[in-house]
Amino acid sequence: MTPILALSQTAINFTYLVAAVLLIVGIRRLSSPPTARSGNWIAAIGMGIAIFFTFLDEDITSYWLIVVGMAVGTVIGVVSARLVKMTAMPQMVALFNGVGGGAAALIAAAEFHRIAPAAGHLSGDSVGAMLFSALIGSISFSGSLVAFGKLQEVLPGRPITYAGQQVVNAILFAGLLGLGVLAGSTEQGIWMVLLLLGALLFGVLLVLPIGGADMPVVISLLNAFTGLAAASAGFVLENTALIIGGTLVGASGTLLTVLMGRAMNRSIANVLFGAFGAAPAGGAAAAASTEGKSYREVTADDTAVMLAYAQRVVVVPGYGLAVAQAQHAVRELAGLLEARGVDVKYAIHPVAGRMPGHMNVLLAEAQVPYPQLYDMDDINPEFPRTDVALVIGANDVTNPAARDNPESPLYGMPILNVDQAANVVILKRSMSPGFAGIDNDLFYGANSAMLFGDAKSSVEKLVAAVKAA
Amino acid sequence: MTMTLLNSITVFVLAVFIGIEIISKVPTMLHTPLMSGTNAIHGIVLVGAMLIAGSADSDLEKALAFVAVVFATINVVGGFLVTDRMLEMFKRKPSKPDSE
């Protein structure tokens, strides 16, 4: 089959330039709230232009593989993006990221297979990029799948660690570099296959020991990896659209990863190799020390009275609120309290939920007005003047051990100083520890009380009780 | 080093600076949508997958390229749609009490 309408390489490269400009403008608009949504669509249009004009590339002589593949991918993409629940967004992003990395690795493998059969055909210019794309793409693919498994709770969310883990990883990585050299110098397919399999294994081992609040940072890092893998696939194919698109994500994704880590007071090295929540000695000691502590339980009616006659209430939402879909009930409760003259604010920790901004998204969905949402730094000075702090399904981000106990694996992470409020009511299903697997000293404080139950039904009970109060 | 490679490296280096520059002032609440949006953008790898799939000779190459096209399309389509769903939540509502 001959091309329908072959465009010259120059013409196609010109459309790539237009696409690149749209991608850049899109990302820029994505980083500011009022323009974010249009930015996403501008980037999508840029992408559409690049894809459409690639169809007219004279190198493409057969269309059916592409058309069928895109149809299948579109159906899967649309269905999963439409059906996914808001609470499951983070793992969805991980999955989309993983397949992107997988695609980059497959491109490298296919190119290697096409060029390599006769030795001496690999050009020195592209072989490095080919191996890099295979390596990083595979790591991103399997690492993202593990991240998905952890967030979906198919795999345990806590860090999985064993003795000598970092040594094993270091040896494996050195082995991968060796395989890369072998594949590049001998041009034998077997080394490429081993490189791909080894990189898949390395991706799994890299993400397994990471857990807790570090997951978003890891997904962001893998996102940057996939960007770099795409860029190096661009070097292999001498395609500027791929180089620009991939590099933009590689660079901005790396910076975003650093920014996220900074919001949690953790360096990237610490995230990757620090095994959040592992700290064996300190963790065990902390767990043991809570044995003798006791907590206080409170009823919805008592809590409602406390809230109704308070002057200042701060709501601290967390992942539990997201799981229970309690955001609308919370909005209703806040409305009732405001009608009684109570000042209601929301304290948003940068990593509350499973991803930065997770709580903003959910509360915005429930139409909570922006001005009531306060960042950590703005709300923390308010807690000593707060009558009731209502902690709804948040855990690790309120743990005072992060501030006070150098033994705690959480130590150093900035937290919401909820324990400084006059009264703290914690809505929670049970006393089980949070995502990071660490007991929370807040629950045992003298000013703390537990209201057990599903977050949504508890808040609905509070709504009914406040109406009656 | 060929001229083509040097041109590619030039584009790469400039794109690194642009990538860092354009997101340096992003507020925390947009971290997740921005991650998701850039996630969709590396779906540009679809362009590469198309070029491979359209010129593949052997069956193995075709199989690899086909899976690559499917994967990359999921990345692009799913990525942009999920990002849009997230950002839809940020729409400003008229009932906004501005005064204390």
Structure token digits, residue A269: 């090295």
Quick check: is A289 in a domain? no
Q: Is the dihedral of CA A91, A96, A101, A103 positive or negative?
A: positive
Same-domain status, A255 and A344: no
Quick check: is A122 in a domain? yes
d(CA B85, CA A211): 26
DSSP assignment letter at A418: G
C-beta contacts of A374-382 below 8 A and 24+ residues apart: A374/A345, A374/A346, A374/A347, A374/A348, A375/A348, A375/A350, A375/B28, A376/A347, A376/A348, A376/A349, A376/A350, A376/A414, A376/A415, A376/A416, A379/A314, A379/A345, A379/A347, A379/A348, A379/A416, A380/A416, A380/A417, A382/A312, A382/A314, A382/A345
Name A271's Cβ contacts closer than 8 Å, sequence gap at least 6. Answer: A210, A214, A217, A218, A221, A261
Question: Phi and psi at residue A317, in whole multiples of 5°?
Answer: -85, 150
| Continuous H helices in A55-188 | 64-83, 89-115, 124-151, 165-186
pTM for this predicted structure: 0.77
CA A434 to mean position of chain CA atoms: 17
Chain B nearest-CA residue for A227: B42
Query: Does residue A262 or residue A377 have the better pLDDT?
Result: A377
For A352-372, the pLDDT digits (tens) are: 776 767 788 788 878 888 788
Chain B nearest-CA residue for A64: B54
Q: Answer yes or no: do B46 and A103 touch at CB < 8 A.
A: yes
| Range list of β-strands (E), A170-235 | none
pLDDT band at A207 (very low <50, low <70, confident <90, very high): very high
d(CA A176, CA A172): 6
Residues of A in contact with B70 (CB under 8 A): 69-70, 72-73, 76
Quick check: is B38 in a domain? no
Mean pLDDT computed over A185-191: 84
pLDDT band at B95 (very low <50, low <70, confident <90, very high): very low
Quick check: is B62 in a domain? yes
Same-domain status, A303 and A400: yes
A57 is catalytic: no
The percent of residues in chain A predicted with pLDDT above 90, rounded, is 46
pLDDT band at A9 (very low <50, low <70, confident <90, very high): confident
Which of left, alpha, beta for A161 (phi over 0: left; psi -120 to 50: alpha)? beta
Residue B89 in this model has a pLDDT that exceeds 80? no
Shortest distance between the Cα of B96 and any Cα of chain A, in A, equals 6
The per-residue pLDDT for A410 is 76
Same-domain status, A228 and A185: yes
The per-residue pLDDT for A274 is 67
Q: How far apart are the first and last CA of chain A?
A: 78
CATH number for the domain harbouring residue A310: 3.40.50.1220
Same-domain status, A302 and A260: no
Look at chain A and report how many structural domains it folds into: 2
Interface check A249 vs B, CB under 8 A: yes
Interface check B48 vs A, CB under 8 A: yes
Q: Report yes or no for ipTM above 0.95.
A: no
Query: Does residue B47 or residue A263 have the better pLDDT?
Result: B47
d(CA B39, CA B82): 10
Quick check: is B26 in a domain? no
The per-residue pLDDT for A119 is 56
- Please report which helix (H) or strand (E) contains residue A392, including its range: strand A388-392
Quick check: is B1 in a domain? no
Residue A346 in this model has a pLDDT that exceeds 80? yes
Same-domain status, A135 and A195: yes
Q: In Å, how far are A407, A433, B11, B97 from A245, measured between CA atoms?
A: 44, 41, 11, 41
Q: Which of A59, A214, A301, A396 is catalytic?
A: A396
Q: What is the DSSP string of B66-94?
A: HHHHHHHHHHHHHHHHHHHHHHHTTPPPS
The per-residue pLDDT for A285 is 38
Kindly report which listed range (A11-15, A127-131, A151-155, A161-165) carries the lowest average pLDDT score.
A161-165
Quick check: is A60 in a domain? no
DSSP assignment letter at A7: B
Structure token digits, residue A19: 């696409």
Which one, of B99, B35, B45, lies nearest residue A90 by Cα?
B35
Pairing of strands A373-375, A423-428: unpaired
Quick check: is A429 in a domain? yes
Instruction: Decide if A348 contacts A421 (C-beta within 8 A).
Output: no
Mean pLDDT estimate for chain A: 86
For A120-153, the pLDDT digits (tens) are: 566 667 888 999 999 999 999 999 999 999 888 8
Interface check A245 vs B, CB under 8 A: yes
Residue A437 in this model has a pLDDT that exceeds 70? no
pLDDT band at A279 (very low <50, low <70, confident <90, very high): very low
Mean pLDDT computed over A8-20: 92
Biggest distance spanned by C-alpha atoms of chain B: 70
Chain B nearest-CA residue for A352: B29
Residue type, A326: A
Q: What is the DSSP string of A266-332?
A: --HHHHHHS-TTT-HHHHHHHHHHTTT----B--HHHHHHHHHT-SEEEEEE-HHHHHHT-HHHHHH
Query: Does residue A139 or residue A295 have the better pLDDT?
Result: A139
Interface check B92 vs A, CB under 8 A: yes
Same-domain status, A185 and A334: no
Same-domain status, A214 and A361: no
Q: Which of A30, A93, A355 sits opposite B82 (nearest CB)?
A: A93
For B38-71, the pLDDT digits (tens) are: 999 999 999 999 999 999 888 999 999 999 999 9
The per-residue pLDDT for A4 is 57
CA A337 to mean position of chain CA atoms: 34
Which one, of A273, A249, A271, lies nearest residue A261 by Cα?
A271
Q: Answer yes or no: do B37 and A61 touch at CB < 8 A.
A: no
The per-residue pLDDT for B99 is 38
Query: Does residue A131 or residue A291 have the better pLDDT?
Result: A131
Same-domain status, A336 and A410: yes
Quick check: is B71 in a domain? yes
Kindly report which listed range (A286-290, A372-376, B76-80) carries the lowest average pLDDT score.
A286-290
The per-residue pLDDT for A54 is 94
Quick check: is A280 in a domain? no
Quick check: is A29 in a domain? no
Query: Does residue A309 or residue B76 have the better pLDDT?
Result: B76
Same-domain status, A242 and A318: no
Query: Does residue A42 or residue A467 have the better pLDDT?
Result: A42
pLDDT band at B76 (very low <50, low <70, confident <90, very high): very high
Interface check A244 vs B, CB under 8 A: yes
Mean pLDDT computed over A313-320: 89
Same-domain status, A143 and A259: yes
Look at chain B and report how many structural domains it folds into: 1
Quick check: is A99 in a domain? yes
Biggest distance spanned by C-alpha atoms of chain A: 84
Same-domain status, A321 and A390: yes
Q: Supply the range of the domain harboring residue B54.
A: 43-88
Same-domain status, A310 and A247: no
Quick check: is A52 in a domain? no
pLDDT band at A432 (very low <50, low <70, confident <90, very high): confident
Shortest distance between the Cα of B91 and any Cα of chain A, in A, equals 8
Q: Answer yes or no: do B75 and A96 touch at CB < 8 A.
A: yes
Q: Supply the range of the domain harboring residue A328.
A: 295-468
Quick check: is B47 in a domain? yes
Residues of A in contact with B59 (CB under 8 A): none
Place of tokens 């690999």: A122
d(CA A54, CA A6): 10
Dihedral in degrees, nearest 10, Cα atoms B89, B90, B96, B97: 110
Q: How far apart are the first and last CA of chain B?
A: 65
